[in-house]
Amino acid sequence: MDGATGRDGTEGDATGRDAAPGRVELTPAAEDLLRRLADRHGPLMFHQSGGCCDGSSPMCYPRGEFRVGASDVLLGRVAGGTPFWMSADQYAYWKHTHLTVDVVPGRGGGFSLEAPEGVRFLLRSRLLTDEEARALEDGPPLPTGADPDA
């Protein structure tokens, strides 16, 4: 990868322009929390399952402690390379949106690393613009958990 990486983890050209819009990014507050968690726990990952209980919140785990399934989709990398995965079923609902991970006060998922901090990660979404949607459709397919290089 020779291009510049944007805040949302998308690869750009040598001028720093993104080749395609990203699907996921972090707010500055979420990025700060993620960095603090990474200092304590090492490399991290996000997974958005869409299941019951806390499945509607993005869950943050030490990388490798959550097993990604073959059908999980890699939406992008945030904050210096942290992968953000989503279950295929959930992606079918969210594929037309741009996601922003934020952090808010309150208890979230008991298994997510931010839980002891008294805060939780939260997804905010907006519909992709027609231009963004076209650019993403014209790009390569998103990697899945079945891809060895993902």
How confident is the model over 28-86, as pLDDT tens digits?
999 999 999 999 999 999 999 776 655 578 999 999 999 999 999 999 999 989 999 99
Chain-wide mean pLDDT for the chain? Answer: 85
Q: How confident is the model at residue 1 (pLDDT cuts 50, 70, 90)?
A: very low
pTM summary value: 0.83
pLDDT, residue 53, reads 57
pLDDT at 27 exceeding the cut of 80 = yes
End-to-end CA gap in the chain: 14
Listed as own residue / partner, the contacts of 30-38 with beta carbons closer than 8 Å and 24 or more positions apart are 30/101, 30/102, 30/103, 30/121, 31/7, 31/78, 31/79, 33/103, 33/114, 33/117, 33/119, 33/121, 34/60, 34/78, 34/79, 34/82, 35/79, 37/113, 37/114, 38/79, 38/82
The full length of the chain comes to 150
For the ranges 1-10, 17-26, 43-52, the lowest mean pLDDT is seen at 1-10
Higher pLDDT, 31 or 117: 31
The percentage of the chain sitting over the pLDDT mark of 90, rounded to a whole number, equals: 70
pLDDT at 113 exceeding the cut of 50 = yes
Q: How confident is the model at residue 129 (pLDDT cuts 50, 70, 90)?
A: very high
pLDDT at 16 exceeding the cut of 50 = no
State the DSSP code for 52. S
The percentage of the chain sitting over the pLDDT mark of 70, rounded to a whole number, equals: 81
Q: Are 3 and 11 in contact (CB under 8 A)?
A: yes
